[in-house]
Amino acid sequence: MKTERTYQINVQISFSDLLAALDQFNEAELRTFQAALAARLGKGTANLIDKEFLEYARSQADDSISLERVREILAQSGGSLSAEIIAERGGRE
């Protein structure tokens, strides 16, 4: 029976070269790489996006308000946006 040897090497590669190398793989190979990367990042960090909040935010969106109007409203704030929010909440966080 043939014994498999494993070696660990460190390779320095630019991000753009890494992307170019990844472009050489097919979709199935990339999905395998994606799964391995997710496992290395840890299960606790796999779902950092608050999907429930995003759903809520989308439900509250009003397409009738233009980006220009949003900019006008934000320009009226003389200071920090976070300070405005805290003041609006009555100092509670």
The DSSP result for 18-52, as a single string, is: HHHHHTTS-HHHHHHHHHHHHHHH-GGGTT-S-HH
Please indicate, yes or no, if residue 25 is contained in any of the structural domains. Answer: no
Is 38 among the domain residues? no
Q: Which domain holds residue 64?
A: 51-88
- How confident is the model over 32-70, as pLDDT tens digits? 988 888 787 776 554 667 788 888 888 988 889 888 998
The more confident residue out of 43 and 78 is 78
Residue 56 resides in a domain: yes
pTM above 0.75, yes or no: no
The reply to whether 64 falls in a domain is: yes
Query: 7 in a domain, yes or no?
Result: no
Domain membership flag for residue 40 = no
Number of compact structural domains in the chain = 1
- What is the pLDDT confidence band of residue 1, given thresholds at 50, 70 and 90? low
Per-residue pLDDT of 14-24, as tens digits, reads 989 988 999 99
Give a yes or no: residue 77 inside a domain: yes
